[in-house]
A and B are shown apart, each in its own frame.
Chain A
């Protein structure tokens, strides 16, 4: 058990910290959350800066520990999050890198790294949420194209994306996991309609995407026809790897701010609240250690994230909601004012136990794949 970093890792951290100190003051002002084109430009601009400084591919080629340090340092410095680059860097990109042909990698990966193209994700459907493999969006072969008909939902950044990683059913006769293919859909193709969905936080973070006989070249299929489920699992395992490092760092910062606020407004004198914050301190310290544990495990196993991701996500998503509930207790009546700090985040955090696999699905995964309990009938 060793929590110390190697000299090379420490050197990476020092260089990154120095660069962040110089680069962040040159960033333009943060755009309004409602202004999608401006958000796209801002997020791509940040990725471009990372590319020019040599940090663009840290999510792909660096060791899990280097990735951990990168996410820890950028969050601590207040750098922008991946934002519109999320799917390109953390979903579609790794999938293409792992499963694509040399031509596909050459076409799609460099623009992601250089901050030139945005990807979105077309996985979930109105009738295929937790049961993703039940998806029904159909694709037929017609010459050198697939013709795609169906609809997708919860597609973040659909309004400003250049590409969509799309799961379609290419064999409706096969068992549900075996008739799915993975396509790169150009978002400017005729027949695509994007309808933004407003979240309970008030923002239009994601959208429905309707596909009305959209033509996609067969050459845009990554992996074999009907092998898309396996290709997709590669992507999802990336999502459950180091995806939450920055967020744990952010939660620990918020907790410190909450303590300062409580000291300022007199709530600190309430031992029940104080102990609640103390317990959250334990919680996020432990989650940070679990992150380090999982990263070390991934390092030892050649970079493949294990089921530790499900254990982490279950606990973290709940803890983050608890954090903002505690924030509301610190603020009292002011917690109803969305201009107060943390309160918009409190609303956003309600999605954490649902997105990327609900807590109930995660418990099934832990129960069946880790503990070996039988599947229900």
Chain B
């Protein structure tokens, strides 16, 4: 048993992180694009439906983000779910916007999806993300009505009939949540080490230190569950992974906001974006209820 990242997996994670980092550093990052000047004309949620950056989508296509699980004969890299989970974890931690999972799952089935030439949206439960930017819409988006999305970087529609849940989509969502859980812990620790009150870094106070420690504990428990589910692809393992990852992301982002104090409550701090995205993702795959019931049923056999 070697339940650790292999050298190749470490490399893949590093490559995805570097590619996303280059994009963010180029000044054309989604965060900058969405908020051109601090506070100028930024009018709260839903005021401007977010636009998807097609250049970013093609870059992700070139990176192999959508095609990585296709065989090499089909233009992919022949990688598995563990590698996909590592890539989605990175996208999650960087708040990359867009229907990444729907497009990834459409690679090899919808022409142009694998290359990032086409944006694919799909209904998940009663929601469709990025419907207005999609070139191709899969699965039950009939009768979709726009919502005033809580997440300024995700456009949302509600649909009348719930769409079925794809376990792989649930797993990749859990990977994104894991990325958020890790990122918000880093942000909180960074702030707690540098922000001084009462003559010392606030991270020296146990009340703050213990919040940060619990964020790490939740993230690391979720990491073990998510990576294991990627290896087994078992439905109960995936359900467990999503519950733990949702908890780690949502509660982690809440605690991160708390550690940031008043600044955490502002629009200009990035903390709220992590929390809002975590809320969006937690609604996918039938929400927590469906996973809890699946795991309860699993106990009875």
Give me the interface of A with B, judged by CB distance under 8 Å.
1-6, 9, 65, 68, 255-256, 258-260, 263, 268, 271, 274-275, 277-279, 281-283, 285-287, 289-290, 292-293, 295-297, 299-300, 308, 311, 314-315, 360, 362-364, 366-368, 370-377
Across the interface, name the chain B residue whose C-beta is closest to A319. B221
List chain A residues, Cβ under 8 A from B205: 376
Contact assessment for B209 and A5 in the assembled complex, using a CB-CB cutoff below 8 Å: no
Contact assessment for B3 and A371 in the assembled complex, using a CB-CB cutoff below 8 Å: no
User: Which stretch (B40-48, B152-160, B211-219) binds chain A?
Assistant: B211-219
List chain B residues, Cβ under 8 A from A296: 1-4
List chain B residues, Cβ under 8 A from A364: 206, 209-210, 213
Across the interface, name the chain B residue whose C-beta is closest to A68. B1
Q: A275 to B288: give the CA distance in the assembly, Å.
A: 9
Residues of B within 8 A of A (CB-CB), count: 54
A–B Cβ pairs within 8 angstroms, 18 of them: A1-B3, A1-B4, A1-B6, A1-B82, A65-B1, A274-B296, A277-B296, A278-B291, A279-B292, A286-B224, A293-B3, A297-B4, A311-B217, A314-B217, A360-B206, A367-B203, A367-B209, A374-B204
List chain A residues, Cβ under 8 A from B239: 282
Give me the interface of B with A, judged by CB distance under 8 Å.
1-6, 9, 82, 185, 189, 192-193, 200-201, 203-206, 209-210, 212-214, 216-217, 220-225, 227-228, 230-232, 236-237, 239-241, 243-244, 289, 291-300
Contact assessment for A275 and B203 in the assembled complex, using a CB-CB cutoff below 8 Å: no
List chain A residues, Cβ under 8 A from B298: 278, 281
With A363-B214, A374-B203 already in contact, the answer to whether A295 and B1 are too (CB < 8 A) is yes
List chain A residues, Cβ under 8 A from B228: 3, 285, 289, 292
Q: A282 to B245: give the CA distance in the assembly, Å.
A: 11
Q: A255 to B236: give the CA distance in the assembly, Å.
A: 15
Contact assessment for B240 and A282 in the assembled complex, using a CB-CB cutoff below 8 Å: yes
Q: A376 to B222: give the CA distance in the assembly, Å.
A: 29
Contact assessment for B216 and A282 in the assembled complex, using a CB-CB cutoff below 8 Å: no
Q: List 9 additional contacts besides A300-B2, A300-B4; criterion CB under 8 Å.
A: A1-B6, A1-B9, A2-B2, A275-B293, A279-B295, A282-B292, A285-B240, A290-B221, A374-B193
List chain B residues, Cβ under 8 A from A277: 296, 299
Which 7 pairs across A and B sit closest by C-beta, in order of nearness?
A278-B296, A282-B240, A278-B292, A278-B295, A259-B299, A367-B209, A373-B203
B200's partner among A259, A293, A315, A374 (CB-CB below 8 A) is A374
A311's partner among B193, B221, B231, B243 (CB-CB below 8 A) is B221
Q: A258 to B300: give the CA distance in the assembly, Å.
A: 9
A286's partner among B2, B221, B300 (CB-CB below 8 A) is B221
With A281-B240, A376-B205 already in contact, the answer to whether A3 and B294 are too (CB < 8 A) is no
Q: A248 to B212: give the CA distance in the assembly, Å.
A: 25
A278's partner among B3, B201, B223, B299 (CB-CB below 8 A) is B299
Q: A255 to B299: give the CA distance in the assembly, Å.
A: 7
With A278-B296, A279-B292, A293-B224 already in contact, the answer to whether A363 and B4 are too (CB < 8 A) is no
In the complex, which of the residues A285, A366, A372 has the most CB atoms of chain B within 10 Å of its own CB atom? A285
Across the interface, name the chain B residue whose C-beta is closest to A296. B3
In the complex, which of the residues A4, A260, A287, A373 has the most CB atoms of chain B within 10 Å of its own CB atom? A373
A315's partner among B1, B221, B294, B295 (CB-CB below 8 A) is B221
Q: A73 to B203: give the CA distance in the assembly, Å.
A: 43
In the complex, which of the residues A289, A372, A374 has the most CB atoms of chain B within 10 Å of its own CB atom? A289
Contact assessment for A275 and B296 in the assembled complex, using a CB-CB cutoff below 8 Å: yes
With A1-B230, A275-B289, A285-B236 already in contact, the answer to whether A293 and B294 are too (CB < 8 A) is no
Contact assessment for A311 and B204 in the assembled complex, using a CB-CB cutoff below 8 Å: no
Contact assessment for B244 and A281 in the assembled complex, using a CB-CB cutoff below 8 Å: no
Across the interface, name the chain B residue whose C-beta is closest to A286. B225
Q: A1 to B9: give the CA distance in the assembly, Å.
A: 8
Across the interface, name the chain B residue whose C-beta is closest to A314. B217
In the complex, which of the residues A286, A360, A372 has the most CB atoms of chain B within 10 Å of its own CB atom? A286
With A259-B300, A281-B240, A285-B237 already in contact, the answer to whether A290 and B220 are too (CB < 8 A) is yes
List chain B residues, Cβ under 8 A from A362: 213
